[in-house]
Amino acid sequence: MSPTSEQLKDIAQSWPMPSRPRPIIIIGAGGIVRAAHLPAYRAAGLPVIGVFDVDSARATELARDFGVPRAFATLDEALATDESVVFDLALPPLALPDILPRIPTGRAVLVQKPFGIDLAAATALRDICRERKFIAAVNFQLRFAPNMLVMRDLLARRLLGRIVDIEVRVCVNTPWRNWRFLRGLPRMEIALHSIHYLDLLRSVFGEPVDVVARTFGDAETPDLHSTRTSAILTFSDKARGVVTTHHAHRFGRRFQASDLRVEGTNGALIAKMGVNLNYPSGEPDELAVAFDRQWNDIPLCGSWFPEGFAGPMQNLQRFACGEDAVLHTGVEDAWRTMELVETCYRSSGL
Domains with residue ranges and CATH for the chain = 24-141 (3.40.50.720), 142-305+327-347 (3.30.360.10)
pLDDT at 3: 66
Burial 39-51 (b: 16+ CB within 10 A, else e): bbbbebebebebb
pLDDT tens sequence across 219-274: 889 999 999 999 999 998 889 999 999 999 999 999 999 999 999 999 999 999 99
pLDDT tens sequence across 316-338: 999 999 999 999 999 999 999 99
Tallying the residues shown for the chain, one arrives at 350
Bridge partners, residue 248, by sequence: 173
The count of other CB atoms within 10 Å of the CB of residue 209 is: 11
Average pLDDT of the segment spanning 166-181: 91
Would you place residue 281 in the very low, low, confident or very high pLDDT band (cuts 50, 70, 90)? confident
In this structure, of 46-55, 117-126, 242-251, 278-287, the range with the lowest mean pLDDT score is 278-287
Average pLDDT of the segment spanning 28-37: 95
pLDDT tens sequence across 62-120: 999 999 999 999 999 999 988 999 999 999 999 999 999 999 999 999 999 999 999 99
pLDDT at 280: 73
Phi, psi of 254 (to 5 degrees): -50, -45
Bridge partners, residue 166, by sequence: 241, 262
Q: Quick check: 267 and 159 in contact, CB under 8 A?
A: yes
Whether 38 shows a pLDDT value over 90: the answer reads yes
Q: Quick check: 287 and 271 in contact, CB under 8 A?
A: yes
Would you place residue 7 in the very low, low, confident or very high pLDDT band (cuts 50, 70, 90)? low
Phi, psi of 269 (to 5 degrees): -145, 155
What residues contact 249, with CB distance under 8 A and at least 6 apart? Answer: 171, 172, 173, 255, 256
Whether 293 shows a pLDDT value over 90: the answer reads no
Q: Percentage of the chain surpassing pLDDT 70?
A: 98
pLDDT tens sequence across 190-223: 999 999 999 999 999 999 999 999 999 998 899 9
pLDDT at 350: 82
Would you place residue 178 in the very low, low, confident or very high pLDDT band (cuts 50, 70, 90)? confident
In this structure, of 175-179, 265-269, 343-347, the range with the lowest mean pLDDT score is 175-179
Where does residue 57 rank: exposed (0-12), middle (13-18), buried (19+ CB within 10 A)? exposed
Average pLDDT of the segment spanning 283-303: 95
pLDDT at 1: 55
Phi, psi of 340 (to 5 degrees): -65, -40
What residues contact 79, with CB distance under 8 A and at least 6 apart? Answer: 87, 102, 103, 104
Q: Which of 235, 308, 240 is nearest to 273 (CA)?
A: 308
